[in-house]
């Protein structure tokens, strides 16, 4: 414990000098250790020094460090003081809890009201409570700007409205970063509350304090209905459909609504996005804050809005010792006072820069607010019993929607309504942030616009237009030859200037578009992140594609009959949740990568604020496997600590039916795209197709993130979770996961069967109906490839189990065959002319088609003889009839893929039993395959030799690269194989070597071509190719000598040729050749006829026998 660490106190204290090099998490741990092992009461600071209370636990050095950093202005420095303050509060609260536990033990833990109150009363009256409060108040006051005190009322800056009509855009938003310290302290206190180590009196004080501040700053009240004046916007009887039946009590807010405000920087306001309508009793004041002329209201308070509400909701949350989220449920329903929709319409760009800033800022903080609302109330939407999560306080019991004070169905409907609001707000924010160049999100500097965007050449355009008109109307009959010549020159110059102007205008448009995209990216990236738990909304009945989610129980066959009645699938909310699910699964299931040291030191890791690393958390005893009551408890008790959080997240998704929702959407998309379905009009068909494609791509990403995770296949617990997930994704079974705690370990056959169902759904979506979107098809192919790889990992991890279930494995789906068939079908499809085909799509499809083909050699032969041979005869822009994806544009992808797999097929041949056999009958088949491979290589190389248009540098590089690899494998594997069977197949072997030598000589022109053209890529591959060619000559000589067939070799003098086979004049030898001698020869196998001379190649390096026969 702490006493054992006392000897290390000097070492821990010395680390205070290096706090600026530590991450926030490391700083937290250091302060907690210092307070645990620090000096006693006598070593603390003096009473009431600098606002700090006496009795600090970490010694004088720690107290000084905290006070110093709190007084510093930079956020990075002040953050250290904030962390130290909260760590002090947590450590002192632990002492209070120990005191209460001691008193309870003294009273023998009697369960009477009197004895229970004894410990609580002692804690409430303890001087430590006052010390903690004083410490927090002092730190919070250091975070606030001058003139603002803790607990200030809502009239802050109300009288300063007359000073802001002459504000400049350069000052707008400049103080956003000043509010970061306050926001950080609120988040840090939230960490402490979620850790469960703050004493009850401190929690109650924080709850009362910040609820009062929140109501004063951010919440407005409505007038009673009887007090509403007729004719006022929002009053009863107003014909405006968007108006509410209540009006604000604040005259300034009412003026914004009625358009009578004297605030010149404020756009017209409107109460928007109310759920409960007239039942709302309050509203959130965003526009009044952001249009205020008071700097604190405009730029500091909005930054604190979400952190303060997060702390309030955490204090109220039953999971963290609160009384239930129903205490603050009014915030989930209330409207927001925002600019009118017209303010962000077509008139937005005509507004002043200041109004643009106000509108954009309003949408930014409104979006953050709605995200925080969803994050806070999503835990009140659980209809299943949830134990205190890994981040919950040390409390006992289960937490459901009813225990939090809600009706499950009602709160789910409200959350879905807020999700729809979030989609609208994000759309508004994307537009306004792209057009507002003066807005910068909190924590970021203003992004300067390119100077070229402000170039105004309208005046010069008018002058040039006048000059052009005068030249066109000039009378050329009376002109001399010199004048006519000058006029023609002037017209040419005018035409050139006009073209340059068009290019300049296009360039500016592209620059503006790029700048707008950067602005949108910055704004979207600075938004408050959604909690991964929000993904459970996919399982809500409101978002089910078949109506009531409860009706989709049971197996997949029962669910499929319901999808025939589905008329729509997907939408903005579903897309938002699916993208969030993909990110959550990717973060939880992928291997964690360490972030850069600078980013960690500066605290730029946005994921740090998700309680994944909360040192304030109380140590909790996880349920043992013996005491577990369900499968989740058993699994979590048996898995590693590092995997528990990932599995806990999967457990909540399984209970919420999230993965069953994936099945429903996959089946619905397949039915709507490929089934008979309802009759659709032509007008809606394109819109529906776009929505289905977008939904399907999100579904593919989610499935791929799940299936690609090795965490779910490398351990028994992971495979059990994977089986439960696949049960929902493949069959839509919502009830199986929670049916009982006894669950058998899934067999490989069962897993493959479920994976096969998922692959069939994906296959049907991308190939069941025509799609002109190749990117969409590739997303589906990537998903299918992930499924095939997952099947391999499962089989490898359960090899022993697979042997025990050999009978069931016969029915396992053939994933490679399906993958090859899909790739074949997509390669044979006619795609739109504007489709970009490259190695990333067509090349990958071809690789999958060849690699997983049942007969590779037949596939390769068909590609060479029936496809690639047709390319030279194609018209520009046309494709081969049987493979429309093969054209001049994609010839390189086809060519390199076939070359690569010819080499791989040779490797595969000698890795198989056929390539190692000593049986002469089987050896004959192996030699036939080698002859076939070499013949295909000869045909491929002949294409570039006979057609100069195909002999591009990239093609030559692939020929040299895979040609040298083929030679290496042939020399290392085939020559020893020939040695074994030489006596029985002498003529066949000599024919193969003769054919191989005829093909391999064609590498010589590439070597000499690279040297002449000084091509770095070809030169890089040259040494390996030369070595392989030399090895071939020496190994063949050795084999023939060993078998007494040296007479089969003969020598001829080589001559230099170009890559097209033509002889290079005057280049038979080079300077280097003459220095080494001109008598170099090359050995050939007897029987090589003179026709091979045309296929010979050359090089200028005579030391490596690069010569051809000279029969002329």
| DSSP string for residues in 1083-1101 | EEETT--GGGGGG----S-
Three-state DSSP state, 494:
helix
Token output for 986: 């002498």
Alpha-carbon distance of 443 to 179, in angstroms, equals 9
Indicate if the pLDDT at residue 642 is higher than 70: no
Total length of the chain: 1112
Complete DSSP assignment for 345-396: STTGGGS-HHHHHHHHHHHHHHHHHHHHHHHHHGGG---S-EE--TTS-S--
283 forms bridges with which residues in the sheet? 220
Task: Give 317's contacts (C-beta < 8 A, 6+ positions apart).
Answer: 324, 325, 376, 379, 404
Instruction: Specify whether the CB–CB gap between 251 and 316 falls below 8 A.
Output: no
Token output for 421: 């609001």
Secondary structure letter of residue 46 according to DSSP? P
Lowest-confidence region among 118-122, 238-242, 319-323, 529-533: 238-242
Instruction: Specify whether the CB–CB gap between 370 and 422 falls below 8 A.
Output: yes
Alpha-carbon distance of 783 to 681, in angstroms, equals 31
Model confidence at 315, pLDDT cuts 50, 70, 90, reads very high
Place of tokens 């789910």: 412
Q: Locate all alpha helices (DSSP H) within 107-126, ordered by sequence.
A: 113-124
269 forms bridges with which residues in the sheet? 339
Three-state DSSP state, 879:
strand
Token output for 235: 């009053």
Alpha-carbon distance of 2 to 8, in angstroms, equals 10
Complete DSSP assignment for 270-314: EEE--SSGGG--EEEESHHHHT-SSHIIIIIHHHHHHHHHHHHHH
Instruction: Specify whether the CB–CB gap between 759 and 784 falls below 8 A.
Output: yes
Model confidence at 291, pLDDT cuts 50, 70, 90, reads very high
Q: Which residue has the higher pLDDT, 762 or 449?
A: 762
Give the tens place of pLDDT for each residue, 775-806. 999 999 999 999 999 999 888 765 645 454 45
Going through 1037-1102 in order, the beta strands assigned E by DSSP cover 1049-1052, 1082-1085
Other Cβ atoms closer than 10 A to 116? 14
Q: Which helix (DSSP H) or strand (DSSP E) does residue 220 occupy?
A: strand 219-221
Instruction: Specify whether the CB–CB gap between 166 and 586 falls below 8 A.
Output: no
Indicate if the pLDDT at residue 156 is higher than 50: no
282 forms bridges with which residues in the sheet? 221
pLDDT of amino acid 1112: 34
Token output for 390: 């890994």
Tell me the three-class secondary structure of 648-661, residue by residue.
Answer: HHHHHHHHCCHHHH
Model confidence at 145, pLDDT cuts 50, 70, 90, reads low
Give the tens place of pLDDT for each residue, 390-444. 444 444 445 666 767 677 888 899 999 999 999 999 999 999 999 999 999 988 8
* Pairing relationship of beta strands 386-387 and 336-339 according to DSSP bridges: unpaired
Q: What is the mean pLDDT of residues 259-264?
A: 88
Given phi > 0 = left and psi -120 to 50 = alpha, else beta, which region is 1044? left
Model confidence at 627, pLDDT cuts 50, 70, 90, reads very low
Lowest-confidence region among 107-121, 166-180, 289-303, 742-756: 107-121
Lowest-confidence region among 584-593, 723-732, 757-766, 826-835: 584-593
Alpha-carbon distance of 751 to 756, in angstroms, equals 8
pLDDT of amino acid 416: 93
Q: What is the dihedral of CA 339, 341, 345, 349, to 10 degrees?
A: 0
Instruction: Specify whether the CB–CB gap between 31 and 58 falls below 8 A.
Output: yes
Q: What is the mean pLDDT of the chain?
A: 79
- Nearest Cα to 250, choosing from 296, 207, 297? 297
**What's the distance, Cα to Cα, between the start and end of the chain in Å?**
95
Alpha-carbon distance of 443 to 445, in angstroms, equals 7
Three-state DSSP state, 834:
coil
Nearest-Å Rg of the Cα atoms of the chain is 38
Indicate if the pLDDT at residue 489 is higher than 60: yes
Model confidence at 50, pLDDT cuts 50, 70, 90, reads very low
Instruction: Specify whether the CB–CB gap between 209 and 151 falls below 8 A.
Output: yes
pLDDT of amino acid 172: 65
Model confidence at 175, pLDDT cuts 50, 70, 90, reads low
Q: What is the mean pLDDT of residues 961-986?
A: 92
Q: What is the mean pLDDT of residues 556-577?
A: 75
1052 forms bridges with which residues in the sheet? 1082
**Predicted structure pTM score:** 0.84
Alpha-carbon distance of 219 to 509, in angstroms, equals 43
Place of tokens 């617990």: 717
Alpha-carbon distance of 880 to 887, in angstroms, equals 6
Lowest-confidence region among 99-113, 189-203, 829-843: 99-113
Indicate if the pLDDT at residue 749 is higher than 80: yes
pLDDT of amino acid 6: 81
Alpha-carbon distance of 720 to 705, in angstroms, equals 17
Share of the chain above pLDDT 90, in %: 39
Token output for 323: 């009384």
pLDDT of amino acid 1044: 83
pLDDT of amino acid 660: 92
Alpha-carbon distance of 781 to 994, in angstroms, equals 42
Cα distances (angstroms) measured from residue 363 to each of 171, 219, 783, 1088: 19, 17, 36, 80
Q: Locate all alpha helices (DSSP H) within 381-480, ordered by sequence.
A: 408-435, 458-472
pLDDT of amino acid 373: 95
Alpha-carbon distance of 241 to 258, in angstroms, equals 15
Indicate if the pLDDT at residue 166 is higher than 60: no
pLDDT of amino acid 886: 94
Indicate if the pLDDT at residue 201 is higher than 70: yes
Instruction: Specify whether the CB–CB gap between 411 and 212 falls below 8 A.
Output: no
For residue 466, count CB atoms less than 10 angstroms from its CB and return exposed for 0-12, middle for 13-18, buried for 19 or more.
exposed
* Pairing relationship of beta strands 336-339 and 282-285 according to DSSP bridges: parallel
Q: What is the dihedral of CA 919, 921, 926, 931, to 10 degrees?
A: 140
Alpha-carbon distance of 862 to 894, in angstroms, equals 12
Place of tokens 């040039």: 464
Token output for 279: 């039942």
Lowest-confidence region among 122-131, 316-325, 724-733: 122-131
Give the tens place of pLDDT for each residue, 875-884. 888 999 999 9
Q: What is the mean pLDDT of residues 50-55?
A: 38
Indicate if the pLDDT at residue 1062 is higher than 50: yes
Indicate if the pLDDT at residue 118 is higher than 60: no
Alpha-carbon distance of 975 to 963, in angstroms, equals 17
Alpha-carbon distance of 440 to 707, in angstroms, equals 39
Secondary structure letter of residue 338 according to DSSP? E
Model confidence at 170, pLDDT cuts 50, 70, 90, reads low
Rounded to 10°, the helix 301-316/353-377 angle is 10
Place of tokens 């005191």: 99
For residue 106, count CB atoms less than 10 angstroms from its CB and return exposed for 0-12, middle for 13-18, buried for 19 or more.
exposed
Helix, strand, coil percentages for the chain (3-state, nearest 5)? 65, 5, 30
Alpha-carbon distance of 427 to 375, in angstroms, equals 20
Alpha-carbon distance of 684 to 468, in angstroms, equals 48
């Amino acid at each position: 414990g702490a006493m054992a660490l006392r000897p290390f106190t000097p070492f821990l204290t010395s680390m205070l000098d290096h706090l600026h090099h530590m991450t926030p998490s490391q700083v937290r741990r250091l302060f907690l250790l210092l307070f645990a092992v620090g000096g006693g009461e006598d070593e603390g600071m003096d009473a009431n020094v600098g606002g700090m209370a006496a009795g600090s636990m970490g010694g004088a050095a720690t107290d000084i460090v905290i006070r110093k950093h709190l007084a510093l202005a930079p956020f990075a420095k002040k953050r250290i003081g904030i962390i130290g303050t909260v760590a002090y509060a947590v450590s002192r609260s632990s002492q209070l809890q120990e005191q209460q536990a001691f008193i309870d033990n003294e009273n023998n833990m009697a369960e009477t009201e009197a004895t229970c109150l004894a410990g609580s009363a002692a804690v409430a009256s303890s001087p430590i409570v006052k010390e903690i409060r004083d410490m927090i108040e002092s730190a919070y006051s250091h975070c606030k700007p001058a003139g603002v005190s803790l607990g200030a009322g809502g009239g802050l800056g109300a009288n300063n409205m007359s000073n802001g009509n002459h504000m400049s855009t350069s000052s707008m938003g400049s103080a956003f970063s000043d509010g970061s310290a306050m926001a950080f302290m609120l988040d840090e206190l939230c960490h402490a509350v979620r850790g469960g180590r703050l004493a009850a009196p401190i929690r109650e004080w924080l709850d009362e304090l910040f609820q009062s501040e929140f109501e004063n700053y951010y919440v407005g009240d409505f007038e009673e209905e009887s007090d509403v004046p007729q004719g006022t916007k929002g009053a009863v009887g107003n014909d405006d459909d968007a108006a509410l039946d209540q009006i604000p009590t604040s005259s300034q807010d009412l003026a914004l609504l009625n358009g009578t405000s004297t605030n010149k920087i404020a756009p017209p306001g409107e109460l928007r996005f109310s759920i409960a309508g007239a039942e709302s009793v309050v509203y959130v004041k965003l526009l009044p804050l952001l249009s205020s002329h008071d700097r604190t209201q405009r730029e500091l308070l909005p930054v604190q809005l979400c952190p303060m509400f997060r702390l309030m909701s955490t204090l109220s949350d039953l999971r963290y010792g609160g009384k239930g989220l129903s205490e603050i449920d009014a915030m989930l329903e209330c409207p927001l006072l925002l600019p009118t929709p017209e303010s962000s319409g077509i008139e937005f760009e005509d507004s002043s820069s200041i109004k643009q800033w106000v509108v954009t800022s309003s949408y930014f903080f409104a979006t953050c607010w709605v995200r925080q609302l969803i994050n806070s109330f999503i835990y009140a939407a659980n209809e299943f019993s949830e134990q205190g999560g890994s981040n919950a306080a040390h409390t006992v019991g289960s937490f459901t929607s009813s225990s939090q004070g809600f009706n499950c169905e009602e709160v789910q409907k409200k959350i879905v309504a807020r999700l729809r609001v979030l989609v609208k707000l994000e759309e508004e924010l994307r537009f306004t942030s792209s057009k507002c160049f003066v807005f910068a999100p909190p924590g970021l500097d203003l992004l300067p616009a390119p100077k070229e965007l402000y170039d105004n050449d309208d005046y010069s355009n008018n002058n040039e237009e006048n000059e052009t008109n005068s030249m066109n109307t000039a009378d050329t009959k009376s002109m001399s030859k010199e004048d006519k010549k000058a006029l023609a020159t002037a017209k040419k110059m005018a035409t050139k200037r006009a073209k340059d102007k068009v290019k300049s205008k296009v360039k500016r448009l592209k620059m503006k578009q790029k700048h707008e995209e950067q602005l949108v990216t910055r704004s979207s990236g600075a938004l408050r992140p959604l909690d991964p738990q929000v993904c459970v909304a996919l399982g809500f009945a409101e978002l089910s594609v078949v109506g009531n989610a409860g009706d989709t129980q049971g197996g997949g066959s029962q669910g499929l009959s319901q999808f025939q009645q589905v008329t729509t699938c997907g939408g903005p909310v579903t897309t938002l949740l699916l993208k969030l699910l993909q990110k959550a699964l990717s973060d939880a299931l992928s291997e964690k990568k360490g972030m850069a040291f600078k980013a960690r030191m500066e605290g730029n890791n946005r994921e740090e604020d998700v309680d994944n690393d909360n040192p304030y958390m109380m140590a909790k005893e996880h349920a043992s496997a013996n005491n577990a009551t369900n499968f989740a408890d058993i699994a979590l008790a048996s898995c590693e600590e590092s995997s528990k959080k990932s599995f806990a997240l999967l457990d909540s998704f399984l209970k919420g039916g999230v993965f069953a929702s994936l099945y429903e959407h996959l089946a619905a998309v397949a039915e709507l795209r490929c089934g008979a379905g309802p009759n659709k009009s032509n007008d809606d068909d394109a819109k529906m197709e776009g929505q289905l494609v977008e939904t399907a791509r999100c579904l593919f990403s989610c499935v791929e993130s799940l299936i690609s995770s090795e965490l779910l296949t490398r351990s028994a617990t992971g495979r059990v979770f994977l089986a439960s997930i696949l049960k929902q994704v493949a069959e839509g079974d919502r009830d199986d996961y929670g049916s009982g705690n006894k669950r058998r370990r899934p067999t490989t056959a069962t897993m493959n069967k479920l994976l096969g169902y998922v692959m069939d759904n994906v296959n049907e979506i991308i190939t069941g109906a025509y799609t002109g979107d190749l990117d969409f098809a590739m997303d589906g192919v990537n998903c299918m490839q992930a499924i095939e790889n997952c099947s391999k990992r499962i089989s490898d991890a359960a090899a022993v189990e697979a042997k025990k279930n050999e009978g069931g494995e016969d029915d396992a789906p053939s994933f490679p065959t399906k993958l090859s068939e899909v790739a074949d079908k997509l390669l044979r499809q006619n795609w739109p002319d504007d489709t970009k085909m490259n190695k990333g799509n067509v090349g990958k499809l071809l690789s999958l088609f060849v690699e997983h083909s049942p007969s590779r050699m037949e596939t390769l032969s068909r590609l060479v003889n029936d496809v690639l041979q047709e390319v030279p005869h194609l018209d520009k822009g046309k494709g081969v009839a049987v493979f429309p994806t093969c054209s001049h544009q994609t010839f390189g992808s086809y060519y390199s893929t076939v070359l690569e797999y010819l080499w791989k097929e040779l490797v595969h041949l000698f890795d198989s039993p056929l390539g190692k056999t000593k049986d002469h009958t089987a050896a004959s088949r192996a030699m036939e395959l080698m002859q076939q491979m070499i013949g295909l290589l000869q045909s491929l190389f002949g294409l570039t030799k006979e057609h100069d248009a195909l002999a591009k540098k990239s093609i030559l590089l692939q020929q040299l690269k895979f040609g040298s690899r083929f030679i290496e494998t042939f020399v290392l594997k085939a020559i020893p194989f020939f040695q074994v069977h030489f006596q029985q197949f002498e003529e066949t072997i000599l024919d193969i070597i003769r054919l191989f030598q005829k093909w391999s000589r064609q590498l010589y022109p590439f070597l000499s071509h690279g040297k002449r053209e000084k091509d770095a890529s070809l030169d890089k591959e040259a040494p390996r190719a030369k070595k392989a060619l030399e090895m071939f000559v020496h190994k063949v000589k050795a084999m023939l000598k060993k078998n007494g067939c040296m007479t089969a070799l003969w020598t001829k003098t080589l001559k230099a040729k170009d890559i097209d086979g033509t002889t290079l004049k005057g280049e038979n030898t080079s300077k280097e050749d003459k220095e080494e001698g001109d008598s170099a020869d090359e050995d050939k196998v007897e029987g090589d006829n003179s026709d091979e001379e045309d296929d010979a190649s050359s090089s200028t390096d005579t030391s490596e026998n690069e010569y051809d026969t000279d029969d002329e």
